[in-house]
Structure 1
């Protein structure tokens, strides 16, 4: 004898399996979230990531002006020459440091899985990390330019050059930071990249001097340094004069950035040292 259902019995609809989420060609929400994470990461320690580079550049300006003021007949012209180089130096160092330290910290603490688990493609990962690094570099540049404007006029003569070279530098070093952060297995290796690659290339790129003071062989060698074209082109945006051919610099910088971006995509797609 079968029991009849009582009037108090409740019937539930059949469970339906969850549907796949479709983000289209780009997961814009995920990309924006990763970018915001990168920006908030360095904004939380603003005195270290934004204020410290400004103080360092002001010290550079003070030391060099005091050191060369006696033998320099035009100290104001020297400060106007030096200021754009210091602004670019802030972009180079901080953009590279942001992406490399973010990835390295995630690998060391195991939190890198929080970035790799969401439905983000290798392209979206690259854009998020590079975009956060570029943002820090540009913010440092703007703040440094404001601080240095009390010493030298920071009025652009060629706004396109200022924008092109600053953005190109921020993205270039952001990509260098991504590659070095993926390659490094400990923070000591990141220091090696900074001390033996980024620092020498930036200091030997005409940041503090004109390249015509160098012997001829070094003038030829420095023309293979991509950071030289970044600093020289950025300075051209403010002073209207350059030590190199601006057209060659634009082509060279674009080619380097394309190569670096393809390298970042290939490394992220392979998952080398980041998914193993």
Structure 2
């Protein structure tokens, strides 16, 4: 009787990869690619948001200025600045992740991202890295410009950094989800115009929600972007409409939920694999 060879499970059978449970080299390569995507066109991705934020502040300052009076105990322009800062950060984070995936789909090279030995978690983290770094770059540039032009410092730096990072993670994850479900730029533009921009504008960026009618104020508190704007305001001027701790919890939970959704879609190849 011939000896039968007993199959011994190897590392692949046990769910292990030869480079370990985490492909750090692949993750670093994907994250580096996402960062370089916006650095090579820095005039569009870093300088342009600074100009846009400056125009917002200039227009509101000239149109309303001191006539608006104080809001939350500070001049209106200082109340407005943190909201503009956060709005710019999250919009750029969303744009980075969503455009990266849609460009790969349109050019037909999305397979170059799906074929390497990267797990769904590593794909999520790699794409998020680009969005978060771009968002924080923009945030730092605008914060410096606000300090130089308005003399506006940072009352609570760690709170501001926490909310800016969470905002970039949340909108970066939403950008990944939007990129997965979109097959062309028109669809991304629709998501930006009808979801991202309204969420940003109707979240207390230009006003305190305490001035709204009770029903609208209650609705605003269900908008996670409101807590991002409010948290950035707390970090910069030390005043806010809601508890910053509550904001951290709401935004963290929302970001985790969206990241989990992205992980599931990437794991199943939803709208990515033929």
Provide the aligned C-alpha RMSD in A: 1.6
Match of 2:9 in 1: none
Task: Report what 1:275 is aligned to.
Answer: 273
TM-score, length-scaled by structure 1: 0.89
- Residue-by-residue CA offset, 1:109-155 (whole Å, 9 max, x unaligned): 01111111111111111100011111101101111111222332332
Query: For each residue in 1:168-210, what CA deviation from the matched residue of structure 2 results, as whole angstroms up to 9, or x when unmatched?
Result: 0000010000000000111111011100000001000111111
**Match status 1:230 vs 2:228:** yes
Determine which of 139, 142, 146 is the counterpart of 1:148: 146
Answer yes or no: is the 8 Å Cα contact 2:224–2:250 preserved in 1: yes
d(CA) in 2 for partners of 1:247 and 1:103?
A: 33
Q: Partners in 1 of 2:194 and 2:151 — Cα distance? A: 33
Find the counterpart in structure 2 of residue 105 from structure 1.
103
Match of 1:26 in 2: 22
- Helix, strand or coil for the counterpart of 2:68? coil
Pairs aligned (count): 257
With 230-239 and 65-74 compared, the bigger mean Cα shift is at: 65-74
* 3-state SS of 1:71 partner: helix
Structure 2 regions of 5+ residues with no counterpart? Answer: 1-11
Which of these two proteins has the greater Rg computed from alpha carbons? 1
Separation of aligned partners in 2, 1:170 and 1:254: 11
* 1:73 to partner: Cα distance: 4.3
Hey, what does 1:217 align to over in structure 2? 215
Deviation of 1:258 (Å): 1.3
Which residue of 244, 250, 253 corresponds with 1:252? Answer: 250
1:198 to 196, 199, 202: 196
- Paired with 2:70 and 2:209, the residues of 1 have a C-alpha distance of 18
Q: Distance in 1 between matches of 2:104 and 2:34?
A: 12
**Are residues 1:114 and 2:90 paired?**
no
Is the Cα–Cα contact under 8 Å of residues 80 and 153 in structure 1 kept in the other structure?
no
Cα separation, 1, equivalents of 2:152 and 2:21: 42
The runs of at least 4 aligned residues of structure 1 exceeding 4 Å deviation read 73-76
Q: How far apart, CA to CA, are the structure 2 residues paired with 1:197 and 1:135?
A: 23
Task: Give the 3-state SS of the residue equivalent to 2:271 in structure 1.
Answer: coil
Deviation at 1:74, TM superposition (A): 5.5
Partners of 1:99 and 1:174 within 8 A in 2: yes
Return the alpha-carbon distance in structure 2 between the equivalents of residues 244 and 197 of structure 1. 23
Shift of 1:157: 1.8
- Secondary structure of the 2:67 match is coil
- The aligned residue for residue 41 of structure 1 is 37
